[in-house]
Structure formats: C-alpha cells, structure tokens
Amino acid sequence: MSQYEDLQAGPIFPRGDKVGENFLGDAYLEMLYVDEKPLNGAIGNVTFAPGARNNWHVHDVGQILLVTGGEGWYQEWEQPARHLQKGDVVTIPADVKHWHGATKEAWFVHLAISPGGTTWLEEVAEADYLAL
Amino acid sequence: MSQYEDLQAGPIFPRGDKVGENFLGDAYLEMLYVDEKPLNGAIGNVTFAPGARNNWHVHDVGQILLVTGGEGWYQEWEQPARHLQKGDVVTIPADVKHWHGATKEAWFVHLAISPGGTTWLEEVAEADYLAL
C-alpha cells in the first residue's frame, strides 16, 4: 500500500497566477475547467498562503469547495467559522454571505466549483480573523 | 515553500467502498457530493488499484475527471488511449463511449463530476488493455 499512500504527495493542480482583487494576502488561482458543457459551472484551483483569505462575498447560484490540502476556514455571516482540512467538502448555498481562506499558520488549497456568478463585498476584519 | 510542497501528501479524500459492478479489478468509490443544489451533478472520488478499470460506458450529459494522483488511462471508442497523471483534467462529452482506469503498474485516483446518468456496456478486452 505504500504506493497508494504516496501517490498524491506534492501539489496536485497548477498553482496558477496571483489573485489581484477581492483577496487579502497571497492567493493564487488556476482555472481547470471553463467549458460550457457538460458541467454548468467553472472549476478553479485556489491556493492561499498562510494568512490569506478572500473578502466576504455571495454566490448567486452557490459553490462547492473540495479541500485538497492544508488548513483553512469557512465562515458564513454571523456564524462561527468552520475549520477545514484535506478531504473536507463545503456546500455553499446561493445568496449566503461568506468568506474562506487559510489559517494564520498554514497553506490552504481547495477546488472551487462555481455554477454561477459572484458578488464581492467588504474585507474580513483583521481583528475578527486574528481572533480565530 | 516546503510546507506548500508537502501539504497534499497522502490520500486526500476517503477511498470509500469497493465497487462491485461494471469494473474489472479492485476499484473504490466514495461519494463526496450528492445534493441537488447548487451543482447539477454528483461528485465521486474514484480509486483504482493497479490494473483496475471500468467497463466501456456512456454518459448521457457528460462527465469531468480531475486526476489527483497516480497514473491511468482514458480512452474513447476507436481512439488511442490518453495517459493520465496528477493534475490532468478530462472533459468527457455526452454520448461518447469510453473507459478509464489505472495503468498496469500504478494506483490511479480521480474525482468524477457527473451531471447525468451512465449507461454501462461491455468489459475492456484484456488483450487491448495489456497492449497499452
């Protein structure tokens, strides 16, 4: 079984380019899938350096996150933050204000499957992030 | 960067249960996402032991494969087989007869995003597989 245990070592999908807007800290995006068919959504590989996170935002259809490595947070507005690690799956409903990103100490990588558009809002307050 | 390089070591998603039908060899399936919304498809984590592969089959809407580890093959009917490895993405169109699976020597793991149903067909001929 050692080959099975080792087969996913190292980064899986390309890290892509640094994201310039709507994120704090160093985050990277590689689009893996953007065709119109057969899926009704795009697939991106999102990599957050320690401390990086996106701003509060809302998806008009929703989004699925598949966590492939590291440690991070997912938080909906006025809800406690959920700690995320490799293997976690997050279903983000339509019209729910939320953010996601790395913990202060760890890199964080997830796939994001997005069937619709995104409305970007304000930054996550530094004090709230540091208190996690 | 060493933490980034190491953060996806080891299996990522649960291996799940052994698949009993429509596969040759030892293959495993863990469903990661089966909700109706927001995605119009289910997401499964499929793990093939060396030599394992599924039978020829057709998706009525299509399927996306995201390869997370190991080495495998994707082949459409009467086309040459495509070698797959970590980071590869395969868009399988609707109504195209095909199979996928591990190489003879390596484990193979992919996510499969399936917006529709599947029609299962005959086994991949042993001689054709061994000739790859």
**ipTM of model:** 0.92
* pTM, full prediction: 0.93
Question: Does any CB of chain B come closer than 8 Å to the CB of residue A104?
Answer: no
Question: Does any CB of chain B come closer than 8 Å to the CB of residue A36?
Answer: no
Å between A12 CA and nearest CA of chain B: 5
Å between B43 CA and nearest CA of chain A: 10
pLDDT digits (tens, 9 = 90+) for B98-126: 999 999 999 999 999 999 999 999 999 99
CA distance B26 to B10: 19
Residue A108's nearest CA partner among A57, A53, A31, A39 is A53
Q: In this structure, what DSSP letter does residue B115 have?
A: S
Domains detected in chain B: 11-130 (2.60.120.10)
Beta-bridge partner residues of B22: none
Å between B123 CA and nearest CA of chain A: 25
Instruction: Please name the member of B5, B10, B91 whose beta carbon is closest to the beta carbon of A11.
Output: B5
Residue to test with chain B: of A39, A58, A86, most B Cβ within 10 A: A39
pLDDT digits (tens, 9 = 90+) for A56-98: 999 999 999 999 999 999 999 999 999 999 999 999 999 999 9
Contact across the interface for B91 and A4, Cβ inside 8 Å: no
